Structure 1
């Protein structure tokens, strides 16, 4: 889908510079912490549903192993080798996103059809797997914006919009928002003209408003966000239970494995609301530790972006940071009541094979960008 005409950036003298090493270890710490929390948060519900308290944990371990294999492979492969092929992969990813709307292929859960059953492989969530592909293709498109012919630029802007509409149609407003914000941040970093950025932002906001107005459950979520205690046994139940979990954690928490809210009070406690269980068990101190990890991760990512000589590599780092740290902050905002409830997982924490695989692939791309910076 693309050809490379510019010379590759000179490799760093140290293929594993300080930023790459720190990002690698922080990713592994983040992953281990997430697996420990998944074990704690999922054990009671897994025991009740399947009779095996380790059911969800074992599945997550398998996907984490696959993700680590991808992570290690990606940190070894120069990013420029992906650019000629990622356009095709991105189109395939967009096709899979829209395939969730096909009866017999799409799998519906919790009023949404976000999963795909291809029969020959486990059920996947295409919107999660699309994220690293959007980073790579967005980096190539925006990083060489003024080198591409106008028709090529327009074509890919339309394709990106079609991808976002496919995610919104599932419906999955949270993932649509984080994907749109990531592409927008990459375009801004690349120096795309302000008029284009403002126009796309306006269209994105309009699409979100139309989606909320046309989906009854999304309107109810907004109302529950504004006053969760007003309907604590109805639409506000999820958020109220989340706030109770976080508040009961106190300063130091109740201790690992001792959360009370995960015992069938807090719904989906091992997926989108796993941070509530973490905050209850480790308290304010543990929450600040995790936020500190995200802050350090962000500072390292910014340093990588500042050292990148090649714009496309800088945009890869930007997109990866948005998906890893930006999505984490969005998830934490939801469970703490700062943002309306949306189905956005906490990267490397929440249960889900596609989510943890996409998270580790994205982290691998970031570490590779760090190795090529300087």
Structure 2
């Protein structure tokens, strides 16, 4: 039941996202590429690529998937390190987060998320059976991953990945003393990063008062708030957003929710939040019904990334949080984000499937099962 609901919710989420990408990107694509469908067509292509992985994951047992997590994690870590090598990483808007493969841009920090959820679930589920040497090695690997993303610089993704690791560890039952110390260390690291990076400091200051510099640092947030406020109760209608007409920057990615809110209004925003609420509720049910701790932790990790990242993106667009570069899963334009989001959704559906299978097996009548085995055994 949960697997079916999650599948339909994922497809609904994806379908609405494609419609919004089409609307948000059409004017700027028409000007920049003389093809209004430029971004939409590429998003559809990435969706089909992601659906291939989606179907493979849904049909693969979780134990088999967990075995590949370590290889995938180290492969993505290698790509993250390559982004920091001069001449190999691609810099956009002052951040070197991409690797260029001809006309394609891959963002390793996005592709990392499914493997991070899998490997952290595998690691923390075995915490009490591991030696301190093994624990420290893996904690060091996770720290290296977060540090590499932070250096790009990409504070928002570092924070999201750090929170994902922390919440999976909390769900696994790690001592609160360890978790409290890690949380304080993360806050200290974020404070240092903001102090050293001028653009991050300006983002925090502009978040607190965007109207202090409305044409520069506060411009993005002000235009986003104008878009959200212009939607009113019912919205202006699909395709009728005014702020996407070269006022709102990055309207088809980081601030795509602002376009959605302007065109579908307060009601549309509430419906999207209800979808996220339904997704998180079913995810928690899947986690509670799972019979193995690593399956439970995978479900919790997927929920944290998919729903948590969505809330962070919406918080930025509505001025609740400082401006970050986190995409809205299954909404924002971007191939790496699309592939990672579909892979995460597929992992959750797979966990739900295996939980349901386990329940069916456990409900079998023991007497009938014994009789069936006797009838199948060869007579002496």
| TM-score, reference length from structure 1 | 0.94
Match of 1:309 among 275, 281, 291: 291
- Greater shift after overlay, 31-40 or 99-108? 99-108
2:236 is matched with 254
Answer yes or no: is 1:168 the counterpart of 2:150: yes
**Contact residue 182 and residue 319 of structure 1 kept, 8 A:** yes
Q: How far apart are residue 110 of structure 1 and its match?
A: 0.9
Q: Are residue 29 (structure 1) and residue 26 (structure 2) matched?
A: no
Q: Residue 105 of structure 1 contacts residue 118 of structure 1 at CA under 8 Å; is this kept in 2?
A: no
Paired residue for 1:267? 249
Whether the 8 Å contact between 1:253 and 1:283 is mirrored in structure 2 is yes
Structure (1 or 2) with the greater helix fraction: 2
Q: Which residue of 2 aligns with 1:123?
A: 105
Return the alpha-carbon distance in structure 1 between the equivalents of residues 33 and 27 of structure 2. 10
- Specify the alignment match of 2:88 in structure 1: 105
- Alignment partner of 1:369 out of 351, 366, 374: 351
**What residue number does 2:187 align with?**
205
Residue in 2 aligned with 1:342?
A: 324
Return the alpha-carbon distance in structure 2 between the equivalents of residues 148 and 53 of structure 1. 55
Q: Could you say which residue in structure 1 is the equivalent of 2:24?
A: 41
- How far apart are the structure 2 equivalents of 1:91 and 1:148? 20
Matched with 1:10 is none
Q: Partner of 1:258: helix, strand, or coil? A: coil
Kindly provide the CA deviation profile for residues 180-237 of structure 1, in whole angstroms up to 9, marking residues without a partner as x.
1011000000001111111111111111111000000000000000001121111000
**Secondary structure of 1:289's match?**
helix
Q: Distance in 2 between matches of 1:64 and 1:85?
A: 23
2:375 maps to what in 1? none
Aligned to 2:43: 60
Correspondence for 1:13 = none
Q: After TM superposition, give the deviation of residue 118 of structure 1 in Å.
A: 4.2
Aligned to 2:56: 73
Could you list the runs of 5+ residues in structure 1 that have no partner in the other structure?
A: 1-17
What's the CA shift for 1:85?
Answer: 2.5
| Deviation of the 1:73 alpha carbon | 1.1
Which range moves more in the overlay, 63-72 or 145-154? 145-154
Tell me the number of residue pairs that the alignment of Structure 1 and Structure 2 aligns: 356
CA RMSD of aligned residues (A): 0.9
1:110-189 alignment runs, 5 A limit: 110-119=93-102, 122-189=104-171
4+ long deviations beyond 6 Å: none
- 1:4: which partner in 2? none
Larger radius of gyration: 2
1:311-337 deviation per Cα after TM superposition (whole angstroms, max 9, x unaligned): 000000000001100000000001100
Residue aligning to 1:326: 308
| Cα deviation digits, residues 253-275 of structure 1 (max 9, x gap) | 00000000000000000001000
Q: Secondary structure at the match of 1:255?
A: coil
| 2:70 alignment counterpart | 87
Deviations 1:111-170 (A, max 9, x none): 111101245x82200000000000000010001111222211111111011101111111
Aligned counterpart, 2:368: none
Q: SS at the partner of 1:314?
A: helix
CA–CA distance in structure 2, aligned partners of residues 157 and 46 of structure 1? 43
Aligned to 1:285: 267
* Secondary structure at 1:117 match in 2: strand
* Structure 2: gaps spanning 5 or more residues: 360-380
3-state SS in 2 of match to 1:82: helix
Matched residue of 1:303: which SS? Answer: helix
The residue that corresponds to 2:370 in the other structure is none
